[in-house]
Amino acid sequence: MRWFGRGTDAVAAASAPTPSSATSVPAAADSTQTSPVDAPNQWLVTMIGGTSSSGQRVTDQTILTLPAVMQALRILCGVFAMTPLVYYRRDGGGKARADDTAQYRLLHDDPNLVQTPYGYKEMLLADVLLAGNHYAWISRDYRQDPVALTRLETGYVQPVKAFTRERGYEQFYDATLPDHTRERFPARSIWHVQGFSRTGLVGLSPLHYMRDALGGGLAAQDFANRFFANNARPGVTLTSKLKIDAPVKRQIKADWIEANGGNNSNGVTVLDQELEPKFLVFDNEKNQLIETRTFSVLDVARCFGVPPHLLFELSKATFGNIEHQSLEFVLYHMMPHYVRVAEAATKAFAAPGCFYEFLPDALLRGDVKARWEAYRAARETGALNANEIRARENLNPISGAAGTDYLRPSNMAVAGQPQETP
């Protein structure tokens, strides 16, 4: 039972809903259909990946063989995971860290017995980027506070809507848990982070909808590998003036491949039956193989929302625009992920008056000179005190008024306030 809690004792003491408690959940609105959970392999093929027009199988495994995809996932998931996710309590007109709560510890310190916060958040975003959804079983203590998250395989969870006269539509999950029990669970038992969605019920899988674009990159890579496996020699046609029966043709073909394929491509072949080889002409430059593989990197950048220079595609980059592209990466590509996950966590775990928020300030820093010029302006105008600036730089606070006082230029005064005469 360590799958669903912090240890045997913790689970025994918990009064959180167990799989058996979900048996009273209403049936789905379209309960006549078989749940995809009953046939996960078929659902995985149709919703997470599939076969592209190029004939390549696009799955969460095959797509990782593309270097651009691996780099895109490393960048997105790594930057996302290293950004702190903090649980706040609203305090008057401001906010304060609620670091004495289980909700704070869950996503900031200890998501489960096995993973670090970095590892869990990295895995979370990878699920969203590849499958369109992340699901996790929520283990709760005797106070119903969340204490652990256990990832569920995407292909074994299906969101469904159920209707009751008292509450209208509610969301439930048909899910198979790691202990192999499969039931219908209420939304409070499953944490669901959706990617881009058209229905609001389930996120769309990028691999499914982008399989042709990504499959083209796999096809170009596969062609290049097979081409160089043959020592960069094009195909060959063996001709003869003699009539050769089909079985003999098959044997000649097999003998030729054995004698000239792979590591034997530079070997010597002795031909009989008046056979004459004619090598097919293939020009990589005319067929734009290099350009095709470069374009596949740009397709990956578009599919996952990563600036090309972060995938080491620098053909259109300049030293002047890379810094701006990096800031745009945080604002336009990472921020939607931050907001999506923070709001999903707030909805699932936060107590009234509390919320989750990511802190991407460190990613938005400019160069040192520009940053400290901004701090100086904020300090001199009274927008920040010394300790607030030091906190942004991850420095310890200064004790006393030197750290907490706000400055104001001597030539400025509050509107309507009488000026003091010397």
From residue 170, alpha-carbon distances to 37, 102, 177, 193 in Å are 19, 26, 21, 17
pLDDT more than 90, % of the chain: 33
CA dist 205 and 132 (Å) reads: 4
In degrees and rounded to multiples of 5, residue 190 shows phi and psi of -125, 125
User: Taking all residues of the chain, what is their mean pLDDT, rounded to a whole number?
Assistant: 77
Listed in sequence order, the residues at least 6 apart from 278 whose beta carbon sits closer than 8 Å to its beta carbon are 236, 237, 238, 239
More confident residue, 337 or 234: 337
Among 33-42, 187-196, 257-266, which stretch is predicted with the lowest mean pLDDT? 33-42
- At 254 the pLDDT is 79
Crossing angle, helix 211-229 and helix 67-82, to 10 degrees? 130
Token look-up 């709760």 returns 140
CA dist 220 and 2 (Å) reads: 45
- At 345 the pLDDT is 96
Token look-up 């219908």 returns 184
CA dist 37 and 154 (Å) reads: 10
Both tokens assigned to 339: 């907001």
CA dist 170 and 159 (Å) reads: 10
Q: What is the CA radius of gyration of the chain?
A: 30
CA dist 5 and 146 (Å) reads: 10
Among 10-14, 329-333, 366-370, which stretch is predicted with the lowest mean pLDDT? 10-14
CA dist 154 and 174 (Å) reads: 11
Give the confidence band of 357 by pLDDT, cuts at 50, 70, 90.
very high
- Asked if residue 108 lies in contact with residue 85, where contact means CB atoms within 8 angstroms, the answer is yes
Token look-up 């000179």 returns 369
In degrees and rounded to multiples of 5, residue 333 shows phi and psi of -110, -40
Crossing angle, helix 289-304 and helix 211-229, to 10 degrees? 150
- At 25 the pLDDT is 52
| Average pLDDT value for residue range 108-125 | 96
The CB density around residue 46, as the number of other CB atoms within 10 Å, is 12
| Average pLDDT value for residue range 164-170 | 83
pLDDT tens for 63-79 read: 788 888 899 999 999 99
pLDDT tens for 255-300 read: 777 766 655 555 556 666 667 666 665 555 555 556 666 667 888 8
Q: Which helix (DSSP H) or strand (DSSP E) does residue 401 occupy?
A: helix 401-404
pLDDT tens for 297-324 read: 888 888 888 888 888 877 766 666 666 7
Q: How many alpha carbons fall within 13 Å on the CB side of residue 170? A: 16
Burial 385-421 (b: 16+ CB within 10 A, else e): bbbbbbebeeeeeeeeeeeeeeeeeeeeeeeeeeeee
Among 24-38, 157-171, 388-402, which stretch is predicted with the lowest mean pLDDT? 24-38
Q: How many alpha carbons fall within 13 Å on the CB side of residue 196? A: 12
More confident residue, 304 or 369: 304
